[in-house]
Amino acid sequence: MKRLLGFFFVILALGTARPAFAWQLNDSEEPGSVLVFPRVHTGTVTAPDGIFPRTRFEISVTCPQNFDCSGVGTVFLRAHWVCGGNASNVCQEVDFNLQTTINGTINFNTENIGPRTTNVPAPPNCPSDPAEEESGGGYLIVWVTDASGNPVAGDALLGDEVFRGSSLSAQAYDAIPIQAVAATGTQIGVAGGPLLFDGSMYKEVTGTIFGSIPYQSTEKETSLILLTLDVQSNLPNSPTFVGLNFYNEGEQLISTATNFTCWGKVDLGSLPGGQNLNTDFFGTKGLVKSTGAVQGSTPVTLLGVVEREEEFTLPVVGEVIGTISAVGGLFPGSSCTVSSSSGVSPSCGAVSCTFGTVCQLFIPFVGCVVTAPTVTCDISTSVTNNIGITREWGYPFFNDSNPVPTTFVPF
């Protein structure tokens, strides 16, 4: 009995080694007081049905659990576009305010075009990868405030974003919600002050990710989109370093690493040793597990999603049917020629002709004295047009449930 009690007191002591609030972890399946949208890209995409923003966002507000929302009027939100670091490791940001109501939805995009409920300031001129079609790169963070801009607890936000990588494809991500620790409506910070994800203002986020991963092959690219909330906006930031362990179906391991400043996107082939992370050498699909992300020797948060981009050619076959008639000049054995524009492959499928004669000179009381051959042809031809298609899909990483204290500093 003494041994059992001793064990109990050891566990109790370990459980109180940190403040009780510090163990509270965010729930990615419940509305939050903060939303993090994992990717932002600027520009437009021209699709068959119109011109669209490359990235658009939706935020809905629900009534927090066990709270009477009948007296709630306007819901105030603060938002920040956050860039990946530039050559000086400065993470540029632009902030703006949003407003809605309980059960209301805000719809906006980076270009202020198309269907939307509000216009917003353009994101900063985030650094771009010349090898990518999309411009810039960063994330969007949004939190609940009062009318004066002070952060308040209000686990009511949920949202999603749609990213168009090409004219014929799109992918969607849910925003990552983070809950507050105080009662709904409680002021938990000051306007312009830091956002503390350490259990004092908001629940904590983790610093390790893992998930299934498809490996690369010809015209099929897999990318990791990674971000941290340990950011000082519009100031130089320390790069975030993270180790990555890739496993194939047979549990074989390839270890590598990457780094980014505030936000980053890296395809598997660009990682050190990443040329081996393909279907020919390594495997079709496997598992990736990160080490704990650090800035210097300090643990930091790590969030991320997987992006898959597959290029292929889609043959589109059409059939053209027509009828021609002529006097003279077309006889059995005539050939069919179809010309086409670049990228179109025509073929003369079938020709069915009926031959006859027509009177060219008719003399009354004598009859037809001159005739000419005639032909009527039904022509059927098929045309194949090879269209380049980009298919994209993505999904979020899991985490290890080990929280890391985090500070996001707005500008």
Mean pLDDT of the chain: 88
Torsion of CA 325, 327, 333, 337, to 10 degrees: -50
pLDDT digits (tens, 9 = 90+) for 171-194: 999 999 999 999 999 999 999 999
Q: How many helices and strands in the chain, by DSSP H and E?
A: 1, 28
CA distance to 58, 296, 329, per residue, from 142 (Å): 11, 27, 75
pLDDT at 169: 86
* Contact by Cβ (8 Å): 108, 117: yes
pLDDT digits (tens, 9 = 90+) for 365-402: 878 878 888 878 877 777 778 878 888 999 999 999 99
Return all residues near 29 (Cβ < 8 A) that are at least 6 apart: none
Residue 30: is its pLDDT beyond 70?
yes
pLDDT at 190: 98
Task: Identify the band that residue 280 occupies on the pLDDT scale cut at 50, 70 and 90.
Answer: very high
pLDDT at 113: 97
CA distance to 333, 362, 396, per residue, from 399 (Å): 72, 94, 10
pLDDT digits (tens, 9 = 90+) for 89-126: 999 999 999 999 999 999 999 999 999 999 999 999 99
pLDDT at 328: 61
**What integer is the mean pLDDT of 235-256?**
97
Place of tokens 């940190």: 18
What pTM does this model have?
Answer: 0.81
pLDDT at 20: 44
Q: What would the two tokens of residue 399 be?
A: 């985490």
Euclidean distance between CA atoms 188 and 52, whole angstroms? 38
Task: Identify the band that residue 163 occupies on the pLDDT scale cut at 50, 70 and 90.
Answer: very high
Return all residues near 184 (Cβ < 8 A) that are at least 6 apart: 64, 67, 153, 154, 155, 156
Residue 304, helix vs strand vs coil: strand
> Of 393, 285, 257, 311, which is closest to residue 277 (Cα–Cα)?
285
Residue 166: is its pLDDT beyond 90?
no
Residue 252: is its pLDDT beyond 60?
yes
* Contact by Cβ (8 Å): 385, 373: no
Q: What would the two tokens of residue 342 be?
A: 């670049």
pLDDT at 119: 98
* Contact by Cβ (8 Å): 290, 339: no
**Alpha-carbon dihedral sign for residues 65, 68, 70, 71:** negative
pLDDT at 348: 55
pLDDT at 6: 41
Longest CA pairwise span in the chain (Å): 136
**Residue 287 β-bridge partners:** 212, 247
Euclidean distance between CA atoms 284 and 277, whole angstroms? 9
Euclidean distance between CA atoms 311 and 216, whole angstroms? 12
Please report, for the chain, the start and end positions of each structural domain, with discontinuous segments joined by +: 17-313+390-409, 314-329+346-386
**What integer is the mean pLDDT of 300-312?**
94
pLDDT at 370: 81
* Contact by Cβ (8 Å): 196, 143: no
pLDDT digits (tens, 9 = 90+) for 53-82: 999 999 999 999 999 999 899 999 999 999
Task: Identify the band that residue 275 occupies on the pLDDT scale cut at 50, 70 and 90.
Answer: very high
* Contact by Cβ (8 Å): 39, 173: yes
Parallel/antiparallel/unpaired status of strands 231-232 and 406-409: parallel
Q: Among 14-23, 235-244, 296-305, whose mean pLDDT is lowest?
A: 14-23
Radius of gyration of the chain (CA): 32
* Contact by Cβ (8 Å): 118, 79: no
Task: Identify the band that residue 342 occupies on the pLDDT scale cut at 50, 70 and 90.
Answer: low
**What integer is the mean pLDDT of 152-158?**
98
* Contact by Cβ (8 Å): 258, 209: no
